[in-house]
């Protein structure tokens, strides 16, 4: 399974219109299953929260690293998702990773209800 960035504007619109939102800490995850057996993702760091472009780019680099690091150790997610950064300050990679792992735990619980 190869992790790809979402480049299709229509897919992004569908994720935001029909997708489910999970919010944990400073990271929100909007996800939708397209039933195409591919996992793709997108990142959003709002300009109103982080006005400096250099800080937004730093956050995006850290989020890309966290996403690739957190998804590959055997977690089986078949949905496309969008990661939205909600904090008004720049978090460390460790803080981002902890929030993202909590969000993925909630996502896996929703995917397999008891």
- Categorise residue 74: left if φ over 0, alpha if ψ from -120 to 50, beta otherwise: left
Closest Cα to residue 87, out of 44, 25, 31, 41? 25
Q: What band does 112 get if pLDDT is binned at 50, 70 and 90?
A: low
**pLDDT for the residue 75:** 53
Q: What band does 88 get if pLDDT is binned at 50, 70 and 90?
A: very high
CB 31 within 8 A of CB 15: yes
**Whether the predicted pLDDT of 37 surpasses 90:** no
Q: List beta partners, residue 42.
A: 82
- What residues does each domain of the chain span? 3-106
Q: Cα angle at 65 between 25 and 8, to 5 degrees?
A: 90
**pLDDT for the residue 68:** 84
Least confident residue range of 8-17, 20-29, 63-72: 63-72
**pLDDT for the residue 111:** 59
CB 14 within 8 A of CB 48: no
Domain 3-106 top-level CATH class: alpha beta
Q: List beta partners, residue 43.
A: 83
CB 109 within 8 A of CB 81: no
């Amino acid at each position: 399974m190869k992790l790809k960035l979402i480049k299709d504007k229509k897919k992004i619109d569908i994720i935001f219109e029909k997708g489910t939102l999970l919010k944990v800490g400073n990271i929100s995850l909007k996800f939708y299953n397209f039933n195409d057996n591919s996992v793709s993702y997108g990142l959003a760091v709002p300009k109103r929260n982080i006005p400096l472009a250099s800080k937004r780019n730093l956050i995006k680099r850290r989020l890309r690293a966290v996403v690739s690091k957190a998804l590959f150790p055997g977690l089986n997610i078949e949905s496309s998702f969008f990661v939205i950064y909600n904090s008004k300050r720049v978090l460390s990679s460790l803080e981002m990773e902890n929030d993202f792992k909590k969000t993925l735990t909630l996502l896996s619980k929703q995917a397999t209800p008891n």
